[in-house]
Amino acid sequence: MARIILASSSPYRQQLLRKLGLDFESCSPHIDETPRPDEPATALVQRLAEQKAHAVATRFPQGLIIGSDQVCVNQGQILGKPVTRDRAKAQLLAASGQRITFYTGLAVLDAANDRLHSMVEPFSVVFRSLSEAQIERYLDREPALDCAGAFKCEGLGISLFERMEGRDPNSLVGLPLIALVELLGRFEVEVP
């Protein structure tokens, strides 16, 4: 079996991939993630996932490369990582009472044969109506400044939701494992 390489330095994606019990290495892809003008969210994440896989393939020409990229969309607007508390608060205020959709692009590339399979996995969360005080308390306890949408569903962020909709909650963290198992199967990698 080819070496499995995760084209990401994200500790969140690495932690998720460990759930599958596969031996893998991680390598940062170093690509330009700037959206193209008028590029839909789904096209953006699929393109970036594929570019990440191809970028890492140059360093691992015999590897089976996993690329992933994610965006969060609220009312048609793509949200990035908030970075600051003020932006996190603004993102959460805008999400209050809304359905937010995450799109995760996933690509698996057999670098030796330049064979690629990719797809986009959607996952939505419906936020409860949140007061400014609730948002402030959340940010005091879990400032998710490095997460698109400004929350961590694997932590206290779950308390912000009314419901979740989709086939794989791992998608919210950035690596849809159900879809990944399907794509790996196309390369004869059996999990478990």
Main-chain dihedrals φ then ψ at residue 83, nearest 5 degrees? 70, -45
d(CA 29, CA 66): 11
Residue 168 appears among annotated catalytic residues: no
How many other C-beta atoms can be found within 10 angstroms of the C-beta atom of residue 90?
Answer: 15
138 and 159 in contact (C-beta within 8 Å)?
Answer: yes
The one-letter code for the residue type at 47 is R
How many other C-beta atoms can be found within 10 angstroms of the C-beta atom of residue 163?
Answer: 10
Kindly state the tokens that stand for 1. 């079996």
Give the bridge partners for 159, in sequence order: none
* Selected catalytic residue, list 69, 86, 110, 114: 69
170 and 177 in contact (C-beta within 8 Å)?
Answer: yes
Question: In Å, what is the CA distance from 167 to each residue of 24, 122, 124, 159, 177?
Answer: 25, 9, 10, 20, 10
Give the residue numbers annotated as catalytic, written as ranges.
69
